[in-house]
Amino acid sequence: MPHLSEGEGTDTSSSQHGYRQKKLEVHLSDLTTELTALKECLVEVGILQQEHFLARLHHKRFAAASQAHPLGAVQDASQALGTSELTLAVIHAAGPSAARRLLAASRGISQCALPLLKYVDQLSPSRIYVCGGFNGTAATPRAEFLDLQVGEWQALPPLSTARSGAAAGVLFGQLYVAGGQDGAKVFKTVECFDPKSNKWERLPPMQEARACAMVTSIHDRLMICGGYDDIHFLKSAESFDPIKKRWHALPSMQWPREGAACVQLRGRLYLCGGFSGTHYLSKVEYFDFTHGRWQKAPALQEGRHCAAASRLGPKVVICGGHQGARVLRSVECLDTRDGASSTWQRLHPMSIKRKEAAIAAVGGQLFVFGGSDKESCLQQAEYFDPESGSWHLLPDMCSKRRAASSAVAAGQIYIIGGSDGHTCHQSVECFNVLKNNWQPVGPMSEGRKAAAAATIMS
């Protein structure tokens, strides 16, 4: 047997090690490619949600890192934000928009962050804009904003067209108002307000006239769907590109509907219930922006028109509504993490039946205000605590209100205008979540219901 010198043995060992390493790298690359292909197939057939997969992956990586590097006695984010100095540092680093979303994420976090929200408002003050609506006699073109630092309403240039039941959304710090009606005509016209120039700009009209449509701002587009054109209930949808200033037709919904509950969650737009012109719908569908199409979702347990809905964590929660003469107090929720196996689950019902109520989620809790029980308008308010699974009464509003506009700013909930069945209110009420009380706000220049409202950070 030939004798190998010490150097020759080392070279042979290194060569074998390099060969094995290269083989493992090729095998790992093949496995990665196969896993990517498998994941894409599962997403395409609807078995796997991309957002759910990434969230689960992040959770497992974070759990592994936490086990390797324990955080000591700290159990959750609210404990980690237990000092005002650290909370303020997080708010500064995250920015005003992310800080406001943080408040809605959890009750514990909001209790830490709400007292410091005034610093967020100093960084980027908010304004609540209200446009159009019905003043008790006719649709109005008036527009105004609430300066939260001053606490007073300021007039804006009027809309070019008096309109009620218009769709409104915010893109790149500008307010878009589309469609609506004046009692004689349904519009396809669109206009945009730029707070910096304090001017309205007429934009290309929608492809279809529509009032009481569902609207959201997502992926830097304004998406509008459904509604009615005074003759037909619509199932068409379209989106506006603010850069090219063009409307693009989207695939039609599976059912025509207006007055549906509209919730944006996990990169999807969920439409729940509504009225088709002949039926009070229990049908639910969502628009999948990844594939550009509508997908069926589990149906509600009962049809609902003019219900109040919001996201609460990973869940869509829908409250009340009506089926013609029957007004509902029941509540349902859909956990979007469950994918194709998800179903709507009954939650504890509200204390009273209501339709056309205002709704807001703050600090991991769901707040519902006013509305109508068919016989009369309501001034009662209540909130849902997911920890206890029950509803709790809040102090009554000063006025009865249905079809009021609502906005959340500086961690407080503003209920704007609305009708008591006889008069459209100029008054505005502000609910302080931390203090559990109503605080006075100056009145608008004109009473209105069904107005377009939005919060914009300056």
Domain assignment of residue 327, yes or no: yes
pLDDT at 61: 82
Per-chain mean pLDDT for the chain: 86
Residues written for the chain:
458
Report if residue 244 sits inside a domain.
no
Domain that holds residue 112: 78-124
Domain count, the chain: 2
- 293 strand-pairing partners: 288
Residue 84 lies in a domain: yes
Q: Per the domain annotation, does 341 fall within a domain?
A: yes
The mean pLDDT of 269-291, rounded to a whole number, is 93
| Domain C-terminal end among 349, 380, 411 | 349
Report d(CA 327, CA 438) in Å as an integer.
27
pLDDT for res 116:
59
Confidence of residue 200 (pLDDT cuts 50, 70, 90): very high
Domain termination residue (choose one: 316, 349, 382): 349
**Span 344-356, average pLDDT:** 97
- The predicted model gives 108-136 an average pLDDT of 73
The residue with greater pLDDT, 126 or 420, is: 420
Does 310 map to a domain? yes
C-alpha 240/C-alpha 243 separation (Å) is: 9
Please determine, for residue 64, whether its predicted confidence score (pLDDT) is greater than 60.
yes
Q: What is the C-alpha separation between 165 and 450, in angstroms, rounded?
A: 6
Q: Mark which of 288, 318, 349 sits at the end of a domain.
A: 349
Please report how many Cα atoms fall inside a 13 Å half-sphere around the Cα of residue 195, on the Cβ side: 22
Instruction: Tell whether 235 is covered by a domain.
Output: no
> Which three-class secondary structure state does DSSP give residue 266?
coil
406 in a structural domain: no
Least confident interval from 69-73, 198-202, 302-306, 443-447: 69-73
Q: Does residue 329 sit within a domain?
A: yes
Give pLDDT tens digits for 312-342.
Answer: 988 999 999 999 999 999 999 999 887 666 8
Task: Please compute Rg for the chain using Cα positions.
Answer: 26
Nearest to 187 by CA among 170, 212, 216: 212
Q: What residues contact residue 295 under an 8 Å CB cut-off, 6+ apart? A: 46, 285, 286, 287, 288
Task: Calculate what percentage of the chain has a pLDDT beyond 90.
Answer: 60
pLDDT of the residue at 25: 83
